[in-house]
Structures are given as C-alpha cells and as structure tokens.
C-alpha cells in the first residue's frame, strides 16, 4: 500500500515536471535539446568572458552595456536549464560526449562568473576607498583653508576691517 502511494506521488511529480517541460523552449528531441542548451551555455560563457575583458581593462562603460544583453541571455538560459532539470530522466543514457561538452561549458561559465564577481567586488572596494579618501581630503581642506566663492560677501578681510574699525 505504501509502495503504491509512493509510486502515485512519484507519478504526480513526474506528470507535473513533464507538463512544465511541455511548455518549454527546448526541443522535444533530446539530442537537439542538449545541443540547444549547449549553445545557450556557450553564448552566456562567451558574454561572461567579454565582461571579464571589460573589467580587466577597467572599461566600466562596456561592462555596463553588456548587462542588458546578459539579462536576456541569462533569462533564456535559466528557463532552458529549468526545463532540462525537469526532463532529466529523458537525458540519462544519451551520448555521454554531448553531456560532457555541456558539463564542460557549464564549468567554464561558472568559473567566468566567479572571476567576474571577484573583479566587481574588487572594483567596488576600490571605488569605495577612493570615495572615502576624497571625502576626507575635502574635509581636511575645508578645515584648513577658507574657500571663497564668487558671491561670498563674508570674507575674512572684511571681518578684520570691521573689527579694527568698528
């Protein structure tokens, strides 16, 4: 009886996963589906490497421009990956070379993302330190030098003459 309930629960889960996969973006043919996921993964890994180059050159503008493209590709990749996971039982036993290629690309993507995250963190910390140093310098300058503005009518020399003649 318990076995029948477990099988029923498993069947319901399998049915839900298959229903989710039916609405997906990957081909119903498993080899073609893996090739599609490989292509998406490669596109995202290539983009991550372009981001890495922009970060290495401190080209924040190029890095920022890549973010819109990355958002679109990453959204598509995430949907395909979710579908792949939902259909995982279908992909067992297929050409191991194709699955190995997918795994290698996913590893490449993970390493590139990890490197980029470290670079972004480093740039953030440098910017934060530079901003703090600039604020401290401005504060020190403001405490040691009187800054006169064009419309400043309250100058030190005017105050001195008022004290001496007042």
Q: How far apart are CA 154 and CA 137, in angstroms?
A: 24
- Residue 62 lies inside a defined structural domain of this protein: yes
Structure confidence by residue, pLDDT tens digits, 123-132: 889 888 989 8
Buried residues in 142-157 as b, exposed as e (16+ CB within 10 A): eeeeeeeeeeeeeeee
In whole angstroms, give the CA distance from residue 162 to residue 166: 5
pLDDT for residue 130: 87
10, part of any domain: no
Domain count, the chain: 1
Would you say residue 158 lies in a domain? no
Q: Is residue 33 part of a domain?
A: yes
- Domain of 47, in residue numbers: 28-101+114-125
Q: Is residue 142 part of a domain?
A: no
Mind listing the pLDDT tens digit for each residue in 36-79? 999 999 999 999 999 999 999 989 899 999 999 999 999 999 99
């Amino acid at each position: 009886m318990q076995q029948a309930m477990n099988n029923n629960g498993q069947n319901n889960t399998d049915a839900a996963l298959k229903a989710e996969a039916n609405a997906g973006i990957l081909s119903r043919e498993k080899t073609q589906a893996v090739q599609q996921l490989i292509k998406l993964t490669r596109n995202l890994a290539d983009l991550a490497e372009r981001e890495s180059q922009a970060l290495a050159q401190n080209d924040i503008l190029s890095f920022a421009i890549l973010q819109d493209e990355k958002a679109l590709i990453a959204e598509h990749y995430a949907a395909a990956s979710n579908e792949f996971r939902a259909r995982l039982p279908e992909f067992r036993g297929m050409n191991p070379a194709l699955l190995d290629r997918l795994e290698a690309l996913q590893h490449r993507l993970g390493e590139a993302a990890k490197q980029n995250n470290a670079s972004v963190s480093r740039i953030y910390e440098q910017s934060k330190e530079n901003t703090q140093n600039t604020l401290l310098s401005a504060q020190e300058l403001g405490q040691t030098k009187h800054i006169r503005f064009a419309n400043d009518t309250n100058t030190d020399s005017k105050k001195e003459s008022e004290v001496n003649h007042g």
